[in-house]
Amino acid sequence: MKNVYIVGVGLIGGSIAKDIKHLNPDITLFGIDKNEAHLNQALDLGIIDNKATLNDIVNAHIVIVSIPVDASVNVLPQILDLVSDDTLVMESGSTKLDICKAVENHPKRRNFMATHPIAGTEFSGPSAAIQGLFKGKTNIICEVEKTAFKLQEMALAIFNIMGMRIRYMNPESHDKHIAYVSHLSHISSFMLGKTVMEKEKNERDIFDMAGSGFASTVRLAKSSPDMWTPIFKQNKTNIIETLDEYINNLERFKTCLETNAFEDVYKEMNDINHIKDILNGIE
Amino acid sequence: MKNVYIVGVGLIGGSIAKDIKHLNPDITLFGIDKNEAHLNQALDLGIIDNKATLNDIVNAHIVIVSIPVDASVNVLPQILDLVSDDTLVMESGSTKLDICKAVENHPKRRNFMATHPIAGTEFSGPSAAIQGLFKGKTNIICEVEKTAFKLQEMALAIFNIMGMRIRYMNPESHDKHIAYVSHLSHISSFMLGKTVMEKEKNERDIFDMAGSGFASTVRLAKSSPDMWTPIFKQNKTNIIETLDEYINNLERFKTCLETNAFEDVYKEMNDINHIKDILNGIE
C-alpha cells in the first residue's frame, strides 16, 4: 500500500488525487496545504484520507506538488531534502524553467519530474476538483532524462491510467510556447473583462446584452490571481513578447477599420477561420 | 394558417424557423436565400416547408430577415415595398442604427420591428440551426414605438413562446453597448487566433499544448466573415473606441509586467474576478 502526498489540494492537486484514488483504491492519500480551510474541505470531500504536514513527507512513496509556481520554487528543494531515495516527486505548474532551475543541483534531482498536465477550469480550490479532468489531455514532461528511470516508469504508469498523452519538451520551449497557447489567452480574457466592466460600471443592465460568446471569451478572467500572478512573473519575458504581437495585431486590425479596408478585414477573418481545423479535438 | 417567410435560412433564421414550427405546427414556412445550396439544405432538413423568392413575399403574414447587416439595409426597403398592410417584418442583425435609418422614412415603417436576439454559436448555415437556441436569452427591440401596436403584440407573442426576455433600447445605445459586450469579443478572439497561428505556423505540434482555456477564448475566431465584416463596417466608430480602450488596458498590463509591478497585476486580476458575479446566468 502506497502513501501519496498531495501538496496543494486545489483544482489540479485535488483532481489528480481523485483520479489516483479512483484508479487505485489501495493508495492512502495525504494532503498538505497552507490553507487549513481547503485542507479540511478536501478531507470532508473525501479527496484525501488524512491531513499531513511537510515533515511527514519522509513517509511518502509519491509526492504531487500543485501549488502556485513561486511557492513550488521554494518548497520543492525542501521536499527533496526530506524524501527517501525511491520517492517520486512531481510538480504540475504552468511554468517550467524556474522550477527546473530551482532543483537542478539538488542531490535528489533524479527523484524529481517536471510535468505540466494541460487541463483545468477557471475555478479553484478543492471543491473545483473533478475526477477524469485529465482524460485525453496532454501532459508535458520536461527534462525527462534527469529523472531516475524507475521513477519515470512509475510516473508514466500513473499518467497512462489517467488517460493522458505525453509530450516531451525542454523547459525553455515549454515556457515560450505555453505563453502563446495559454498565458496570452488569460491576459486577453482578463483585459476584455476589464474593458467592458470599466465602460459599463454604471450600467449593470448592459450585461443583459452579453451572450454566450462574451461569456466564453471572458471565462478565463475568473481565474485565480494567486495562481496566475506568479506564472506571469516567472514567464514575463515570453509573455511580453506575445503581448507585443497581440497588441500589434489589434492595432493593425483597428487601422483596417479606420481606413475602411474591409476587404482586408474579411480576408483576415477568413484566414483565421482555419483555427477550426487546428482546434479540432481540443474542446 | 399563417405564411411565415424566412429571409436567410442560416444559423439565426433557421433556428427561429425551427422554434416557430415546433411551437406552432400550423404555420407554413417559406425560405428565401441567395445561397441556393443553403436553401436546399434547409428544405432537406425540414427547416422550411417550401422554397420561395423575394416577390412571393406579397403573400407573407410574417417576414423574418436574418442576413448579413449590409444586405438587410438593401433588402428591407424592398421587402416593405411588397408586404401587405398587416404583415410583420422583423430583422435580427447585430447592428441597429444603419438598419433603422434604412427604413425610417419608408411608408410601411410601422410594419417593421428591429430586433436583436442575443444568441448564436460560432457556426453558420442551416445545419447550424438549433431548436430552443433562444430560450432564456435576451432580445433587444429598438424603436418599438415605431411599430404598429397590433404587430408589436404579434411579435411579442412569438418571442414569448420562444422563451425570450425583452429589453427596449434605442439604436444608438444598442450599437454602442453591443460593441463592448459582443463585437470586441469577436475581435479579441480573432486576433488571439492570429497571434498564435502566426507564431506557431511552422510548429503545428504546439497546438497539442493548447487546453480548453485557449479553445474557449479563441472560439469566436471561427465566426463567419460574411456575417461579421458588415457588422464591423456598420459599427466601426463604436468598435474603434472599444479597441482603443482594450489596447490601452493591454499596454498598461504589459507595463506592469515590464516594471515588475506584480502587486498591481494581482490587484487587477482580483478586481476583474468580479465578472463572476456579473456573468452568473449568462452561460
For B66, how many CA atoms within 13 A lie in the half-sphere containing its CB? 24
> Mean of the pLDDT values across residues B65-89?
98
CB–CB of A211 and B187 under 8 A? no
What is the pLDDT, as a whole number, of residue A258?
98
For residues A70 and A29, membership in a common domain is answered with: yes
For residues B135 and B10, membership in a common domain is answered with: yes
What is the pLDDT, as a whole number, of residue A120?
86
User: For B189, which residue in chain A has the nearest alpha carbon?
Assistant: A217
Buried b (16+ CB within 10 A) or exposed e, A145-165: eebbeebbebbbebbeebebe
- Judged by a CB distance cut-off of 8 A, whether residue A272 touches chain B is yes
The set of cell numbers assigned to B168 is 427596449
Mutation site, B15, B200, B203, B218, interface A, largest A CB count within 10 A: B218
Smallest Cα–Cα separation from A12: which of A97, A134, A110? A134
Write the DSSP assignment of B148-169 as a string of letters. -HHHHHHHHHHHHHHT-EEEEE
| Residue B235, C-beta contacts closer than 8 angstroms, at least 6 positions apart | B95, B97, B175, B178, B179, B183
What is the pLDDT, as a whole number, of residue B217?
94
> Mean of the pLDDT values across residues A141-166?
96
CB B77 within 8 A of CB B57: no
For residues B222 and B162, membership in a common domain is answered with: no
Measured in degrees and rounded to the nearest 5, phi and psi for residue A190 equal: -60, -45
For residues A28 and A148, membership in a common domain is answered with: yes
For residues A163 and A28, membership in a common domain is answered with: yes
CB–CB of B185 and A195 under 8 A? no
- Judged by a CB distance cut-off of 8 A, whether residue A1 touches chain B is no
Q: How many CB pairs under 8 A join A and B?
A: 310
CB–CB of B254 and A269 under 8 A? no
The Cα of A110 is separated from the nearest Cα of chain B by a number of Å equal to 25
What is the pLDDT, as a whole number, of residue A220?
95
Domain end (from B121, B146, B170): B170
CATH of the domain at A183: 1.10.3660.10
H or E, element range at A149: helix A149-162
pLDDT by residue (tens digit) across A223-278? 999 999 999 999 999 999 999 999 999 999 999 999 999 999 999 999 999 998 88
> Mean of the pLDDT values across residues A130-150?
96
How far apart (Å, rounded) are the C-alpha atoms in residues A214 and B180? 9
Closest CB to B209: pick one of A118, A222, A247: A118
**How wide is the angle at C-alpha B179 spanned by C-alphas B177 and B182, nearest 5°?**
100
Q: What is the DSSP-derived secondary structure letter of residue B91?
A: E
pLDDT by residue (tens digit) across B20-52? 999 888 999 999 999 999 999 999 999 999 999
The Cα of B95 is separated from the nearest Cα of chain A by a number of Å equal to 13
What is the pLDDT, as a whole number, of residue A279?
78
Looking at the 3D structure of chain B, how many domains does it have?
A: 2
What is the pLDDT, as a whole number, of residue A283?
53
The set of cell numbers assigned to B72 is 438587410
ipTM above 0.90, yes or no: yes
How far apart (Å, rounded) are the C-alpha atoms in residues B232 and B221? 14
Residue A175 pLDDT greater than 70, yes or no: yes
At B275, is the secondary structure helix, strand, or coil? Answer: helix
> Mean of the pLDDT values across residues B155-176?
95
Domain end (from A170, A196, A230): A170
Beta bridge partners of B117: B139
For residues A113 and A188, membership in a common domain is answered with: no
For residues B165 and B32, membership in a common domain is answered with: yes
For residues A89 and A22, membership in a common domain is answered with: yes
For residues A18 and A35, membership in a common domain is answered with: yes
The set of cell numbers assigned to A137 is 489531455
For residues A149 and A204, membership in a common domain is answered with: no
CB B57 within 8 A of CB B83: yes
Neighboring chain A residues of B93 at a CB cutoff of 8 Å: none
What is the pLDDT, as a whole number, of residue B283?
53
Strand order in the sheet with A88-91: A50-51, A28-32, A3-7, A62-65, A88-91, A112-117, A138-142, A165-169
Burial class (CB in 10 A: 0-12, 13-18, 19+), B222: buried
- Residue B18 identity: K
Domain end (from A117, A147, A170): A170
Q: Which residue range is the domain that position A190 belongs to?
A: 174-279
For residues B14 and B127, membership in a common domain is answered with: yes
What is the pLDDT, as a whole number, of residue B69?
97
Residue A104 pLDDT greater than 60, yes or no: yes
What is the pLDDT, as a whole number, of residue A174?
96
How far apart (Å, rounded) are the C-alpha atoms in residues B255 and B271? 18
What is the pLDDT, as a whole number, of residue B52?
98
For residues B140 and B232, membership in a common domain is answered with: no
Neighboring chain B residues of A193 at a CB cutoff of 8 Å: 272, 275
What is the pLDDT, as a whole number, of residue A204?
64
